[in-house]
Chain A
Amino acid sequence: MTVNSPVLAILWRCWRLSWKQALLCQAGLYLLLIPFLLIFRPEDSESLNGVISACLTGYLAFLWASTLPLTLQRPNSWNTTGFQFAYELRLPVSVPQLVLIPLAYLSALFLISYLMPALLLRWLFGFDGPSGVVSLLIIQFILLLSAATWWSSDPWDGMVSWLAFVGSFLMGWLFPDFIQISESETGAVSVLRFSTASIFHYALIIVLCLTVTLLGVSKQRHGENLLGLSQWRLFDKETGLVGLASLPFLKGSCPTVSPWRAELWRLQRFRGVSNYLLFGLIAALFPCLLLGSVDFFNSSEETIPLEPLVGSSGLALLMLNIAPAMSFYGMRTINNTPQFGLFERIRPLSTTTLCAVNFLILLLGLLAATLSMGLFLNLLGPLFISNFAELAEQFMTQVSGWTEQPVRRWLPRLLLMPIYILVLAVLMATFGSWTKLQPGRCSRIVLTILCYILLLLITLVSFNWHTLAGLTALTVWEIHLWLLLTGLAAMTAYAWQQLDKDEVLKPIQKASLALAALPLLLFSWLSFDLNWLLETGFSGSLHLALSLALGLLPLITAIICLFTMNRVLHQ
């Protein structure tokens, strides 16, 4: 593409950073939503509109997340505030052009990304969603969120403006008419409209934010900030919370008595307790904000049930543990690109020691994060969720009900739970590392699996799976579980062979691994209620398959982890 003006050059950069993501999101929407609606089309138009609106909202959120590089300065670091187009600040182009062109581009991109599928869905299924109002909301959302991020490069300012954004949103100051109308009798999105007063309200907020952003970026061009730069930073991109990491009892001095203790010290400092305390806070904030918003906009008398709270907290905890698990293999952001750091790879430590030390730190961190999350959830929950006390009581009742079961049933489950969270986090991080080691192969495998699952679902639904002779949903599930087990066994055998070839494991270590798997297998077997499985319609062999799969998963993870670490060390 030939660009012969600054405007075109900035547009080109925006397009270059986002076209793949936008195209992928569009393709994903068409490939998933349209086949889904063709198969499971809701009976009434209200449900149809509800499903499509939810999908489109999720799709726009996903698109926003995937185009973050356009708005956030360094998406992989803590300091994500400040004007993103820092390189362009050195070029002969005016600040208004620099700020307004990317904003215009983003607005256009999101409008097209919303209107195209909305029109197609209207034509195909009679979707009755509003176009004009949602378009205005999208533009406003993009302008305000970008302004909140760009106006200052100081993380403190960024945090305050983001909090102000979320707070104003929750208080209904940013979208006043939207809230009022959603509380009307019909509650239908299609009747949304704006009064002249609300248009002025919108315009005033936007003009104010844009002015602050333009002034802020002008200051950033000369290495300054609108409100000056704070003297100390809240976050360190490598160690997380600076204040906490500097506490004397967490800091300590590096022990020099043995290499593995030195490595343990480094990892503890690098992603130790302070980070996990922060993770606990984020894991508690996530369900609070999510369910708090639902609670806030919920016009009916229904209260928040326990399941979403437990589910969203658990999900947040798991997702947050993936980030430190990624650094398990020494992956760090170097020059804004995730890479396997050389510093980690040239330590004279064996692969097994490296893995063991990393596992230990992850396990300790997970426990710290869980405790921290529980603490913060108790502190923040009542502020965001109106029936939090009731939910907490329900949770405690369920826990006590759980422990009233035989010890042989709940104790294995209790012991296995942190192990499985750890295993899941490490497996996801391992997959993340392989996408860096073998990007082409990984994407082909993922695409094949996704296509297979989609085809399987379509086939099952088309053939009416409950009545198809001899092939029930449970049988399909069981067959795939065995297939998964076979696949995992084959993968483990290959990994084991490679480890043997590189002499990674000593005979005593191999024996220890095999021995450690035995109690896990036993726990796994005991944790399943065979009677319940049989009553539900599952066969006895499923019990065996589930016990084997879950019991062997930690061992398989350990082997795959060693194999991956070895591959990272010697690419």
Chain B
Amino acid sequence: MESIIQIQKLSRRFGKTLALDGIDFEAGSGKVYGLVGANGAGKTTFIKHILGLLRAQQGQVSVFGLDPVKQTQQILKRVGYLSENRDLPDWMSIGELMRYTSAFHANWDQQFCDELLTRFELDPAQKIGQLSRGMRAQTGLVAAVAHRPELLVLDEPSSGLDAVVRNDILNAIVRTISDQGSTVLFSSHLLDEVERMSDHVTMIQKGQILLDGDLESLCDTHRLCDFKFASALQQPPALPVVQLEGENRSWRALHKQSDEQFAARIEAIDGQVLQSRRASLEEIFLAYAGHGKSEELAA
């Protein structure tokens, strides 16, 4: 698989705040990469480094084998980007924005553009300044994908989109782009959305990568087990787990062992496994990120 994005030991500091702390990341072609993290985790800063909008203070960033600062133009021609704050020129009409953007991309697909505009029910004559937040996001999305980019970067794409657009259209667009062999990198704090759309998940917290791997293997390797003891425990049992919660007799653990291995350990300390199942992405994230952040994410 061809490597599209390569990041090594990337660090970034804004004043006294360490926004990114020695991040390593690699993305190949034809896959959908979900970047998940709480607000302020460093997702947008990470994305801006990929686009060359921020210069790496430490570490190296390479996109299509090019340097995003030295060869920005070559990279941006092959990238579609939807920014988090949907920064679009208010004074242009939707049609003018599409025409303007097409001038920068030799492989602009006008038919695809028109198709998407119709699908989103966007009127090309309407001014961007008069659009609602959701329509603005849809317009930005069309401008980002109509040249069928080799790398599509979406920063919080579902923010402002209604449930129908989010579930059906966004998913369909991302899949269309991915199926044509392009790479999609999108950030979100909605775990169900990342789970639904991604092939690969990277969890960021406080500028560090907590977890990085294929979604399937991540969920397969993390098991959630409920178990109990005959008498109440004064202290949590000593077990090799990612997270352990409970009290007295009933406990729940997120672990990375096989069900058999973990059941044997529980039995060895006089416990009994009630049930064991595959963990969801949300459960994995909450376990890694900690309880405080979990509430923020769940919201």
A residues sitting closer than 8 Å to B (CB atoms) are: 236-239, 245, 253-259, 261-262, 265-266, 269-270, 334, 341-343, 345-350, 502-503, 569-571
Measured CA separation A245–B90 after assembly (Å): 14
User: Which of B71-98 touch A at CB < 8 Å?
Assistant: 71-77, 81, 83, 85, 87-92, 96
Could you tell me the dominant secondary structure of chain B's interface residues?
Answer: loop
Q: Please tell me if B100 contacts chain A, counting CB pairs below 8 Å.
A: yes
CB atoms of A342 and B85 under 8 A apart: yes
CB atoms of B104 and A349 under 8 A apart: yes
Measured CA separation A571–B12 after assembly (Å): 11
Question: Which of B69, B73, B91 is in CB contact (< 8 Å) with A349?
Answer: B73
Question: Which of B69, B76, B87, B89 is in CB contact (< 8 Å) with A266?
Answer: B89
| Contact A346-B76, Cβ < 8 Å, known A262-B104, A334-B85 | yes
Chain B residues with CB under 8 A of A238: 89-91, 129
Chain B residues with CB under 8 A of A266: 89, 92, 100
CB atoms of A342 and B100 under 8 A apart: no
The 5 A-B pairs with the shortest beta carbon distances in the complex, nearest first, are: A262-B103, A348-B76, A342-B87, A348-B77, A256-B103
- Closest residue of chain B to A240 (Cβ to Cβ) is B91
Measured CA separation A254–B100 after assembly (Å): 6
CB atoms of A256 and B102 under 8 A apart: yes
Chain B residues with CB under 8 A of A502: 69-70
CB atoms of B89 and A347 under 8 A apart: no
B residues sitting closer than 8 Å to A (CB atoms) are: 51-55, 68-77, 81, 83, 85, 87-92, 96, 99-100, 102-105, 129
Give min CB distance, A258 to chain B, whole Å. 7
- Given contact pairs A245-B91, A255-B103, a sample of 20 additional A-B residue pairs in the complex whose CB atoms are under 8 Å apart: A238-B91, A254-B100, A259-B103, A262-B103, A265-B100, A266-B92, A342-B83, A343-B83, A343-B88, A343-B89, A346-B51, A346-B53, A346-B81, A346-B83, A347-B76, A348-B75, A348-B77, A350-B73, A571-B53, A571-B55
Select the residue from A253, A261, A349, A570 with max chain B CB neighbours within 10 A.
Answer: A570
Chain B residues with CB under 8 A of A254: 96, 99-100, 103
- Closest residue of chain A to B75 (Cβ to Cβ) is A348
- Closest residue of chain B to A251 (Cβ to Cβ) is B96
Measured CA separation A253–B87 after assembly (Å): 22
| Contact A569-B72, Cβ < 8 Å, known A270-B89, A342-B85, A343-B89 | yes
| Contact A239-B91, Cβ < 8 Å, known A347-B76, A570-B53 | yes
Measured CA separation A253–B53 after assembly (Å): 29
- Write 24 A-B pairs (CB below 8 A) sorted by A numbering: A238-B89, A238-B91, A239-B91, A253-B96, A254-B96, A256-B102, A261-B103, A262-B100, A262-B103, A266-B100, A270-B91, A342-B83, A342-B85, A343-B87, A346-B51, A347-B104, A348-B73, A348-B77, A348-B105, A350-B73, A570-B52, A570-B53, A570-B55, A570-B68
Give min CB distance, B236 to chain A, whole Å. 43
CB atoms of B51 and A253 under 8 A apart: no
Give min CB distance, B294 to chain A, whole Å. 29
Measured CA separation A345–B54 after assembly (Å): 11
Could you tell me the dominant secondary structure of chain A's interface residues?
Answer: loop
CB atoms of B99 and A253 under 8 A apart: yes
- Closest residue of chain B to A245 (Cβ to Cβ) is B91
Chain B residues with CB under 8 A of A270: 89, 91
- Closest residue of chain B to A569 (Cβ to Cβ) is B72
Chain B residues with CB under 8 A of A342: 53, 83, 85, 87
Measured CA separation A343–B136 after assembly (Å): 13
Measured CA separation A48–B51 after assembly (Å): 61
Chain A residues with CB under 8 A of B51: 346
Select the residue from B72, B73, B81, B99 with max chain A CB neighbours within 10 A.
Answer: B72
- Closest residue of chain B to A335 (Cβ to Cβ) is B85
Chain B residues with CB under 8 A of A262: 100, 103-104
CB atoms of A236 and B53 under 8 A apart: no
CB atoms of A503 and B96 under 8 A apart: no
- Closest residue of chain A to B56 (Cβ to Cβ) is A570
Measured CA separation A334–B86 after assembly (Å): 11
Measured CA separation A557–B233 after assembly (Å): 74
Measured CA separation A391–B54 after assembly (Å): 54
Chain A residues with CB under 8 A of B92: 266, 269
CB atoms of A569 and B87 under 8 A apart: no
Measured CA separation A237–B129 after assembly (Å): 10
- Closest residue of chain B to A269 (Cβ to Cβ) is B91
CB atoms of A258 and B91 under 8 A apart: no
- Closest residue of chain A to B68 (Cβ to Cβ) is A570
Give min CB distance, B153 to chain A, whole Å. 10
Measured CA separation A257–B100 after assembly (Å): 10
Give min CB distance, B260 to chain A, whole Å. 52
Measured CA separation A269–B93 after assembly (Å): 12
Measured CA separation A272–B89 after assembly (Å): 15
Measured CA separation A185–B237 after assembly (Å): 99
Measured CA separation A239–B127 after assembly (Å): 13
Measured CA separation A238–B73 after assembly (Å): 26
Measured CA separation A135–B77 after assembly (Å): 62
Measured CA separation A345–B87 after assembly (Å): 10
Chain A residues with CB under 8 A of B75: 348
CB atoms of B89 and A258 under 8 A apart: no
Select the residue from A257, A259, A261, A265 with max chain B CB neighbours within 10 A.
Answer: A259
